Chain A
Amino acid sequence: MSENKALTPSNKSDVKAARQLPIITPAVDIFENKNEILLHADMPGVQRENITINIDNGKLYLSGSRTVTDSGAARWREFGAAEYSRTFSVPQSIDVANIKAHLQDGVLQLQLPKLETAKPKQIKITTG
């Protein structure tokens, strides 16, 4: 009678994935000059490898998850594991291949260069 007749094997990692993390919208700063757009996002506690940045069809999807290691007994707790997520509209004139991302002190710094064709051009007038 002890035969296991479960049709699907239980998988412990599925249990972990089902846990809902609170979703935080990171605060951002956006700057622009004629060559590029800069996006700075506060994402404290997120490791570099846990950030994903996707650009698709004029949308930039930014997400990252953080874990907070709890050791010992909690006296008080004001923050914990969370998921950061935010979506931005980006102009089509962004040079997707040359986007740079840098993480420093819990702030993600994205550098979105504009395509050469989208940069403003000064037209020189010649006199003849």
Chain B
Amino acid sequence: MWARMNELERMLNNMDIFRSRLGSAFQDFDQLAEQRYPKTTGDNYPRTNLNDTGDNLEVMVEVPGVSKDNINVKIQGNYLELSGKRTNEVPEGYTVHRTEREALSFSRSFTLPYEVNADNVKASLNNGILTMTLPKSEAAKPKQIAIS
């Protein structure tokens, strides 16, 4: 009788292991899908790219339909905050067939890998892409070491 019970328990344990493995397999799948198509809802809107060009950090932000007056950028040390809003009004006297482009306000903040010199930041908005060049502060810049 006890032998039977032990056997049953072992089988149940095995099933538990199998279940947890199956769960992690699904998680891997989700992660893969997300890498390819990052979601743009909530936390990571607008989408950004960050490049390190040695002396500068370059940030690109995808902000279609947002005019430059409606974007605010705040920089302090290595903290960057982007906020803004997109207004989307129905033109006067028109009936609406389809609205997929919502009016929204957004805010996103980042910790940059280096401190940047906030006084010399260059920003330009071109075709719905905001490009910012953030010069690294002197301490964070790469140094050429002369070999004697």
Interface residues in chain A, defined as those with a beta carbon under 8 Å from any beta carbon in chain B? 22, 27-33, 37-38, 40, 42-47, 68, 70-80, 103, 105-107
Whether the pair A31, B96 counts as a contact (CB closer than 8 A) is yes
- Chain B residue with minimal CB distance to A74? B51
- Chain A residue with minimal CB distance to B93? A33
Whether the pair A44, B62 counts as a contact (CB closer than 8 A) is yes
**Which of A33, A45, A72 is the one whose CB lies under 8 Å from B127?**
A45
In the bound complex, residues from chain A placing their C-beta under 8 Å from that of B101 are 27-29, 40, 42, 107
Interface centre among A29, A40, A76 (most CB of B within 10 A): A29
Whether the pair B127, A47 counts as a contact (CB closer than 8 A) is yes
**Interface contact tally, CB-CB below 8 A:** 113
Whether the pair A31, B94 counts as a contact (CB closer than 8 A) is yes
List residues of B (26-65) whose CB comes within 8 Å of A's CBs: 36, 38, 44, 47-54, 56-58, 60, 62-65
Interface residues in chain B, defined as those with a beta carbon under 8 Å from any beta carbon in chain A? 36, 38, 44, 47-54, 56-58, 60, 62-67, 88, 90-91, 93-101, 113, 125, 127-129
**Which of B57, B63, B98, B113 is the one whose CB lies under 8 Å from A28?**
B98
In the bound complex, residues from chain B placing their C-beta under 8 Å from that of A68 are 49, 60, 129
Q: With A43-B64, A79-B62 given, is the CB distance from A74 to B98 under 8 Å?
A: no
In the bound complex, residues from chain A placing their C-beta under 8 Å from that of B67 are 105
Roughly how many angstroms separate A15 CA and B68 CA in the complex, as a whole number? Answer: 38
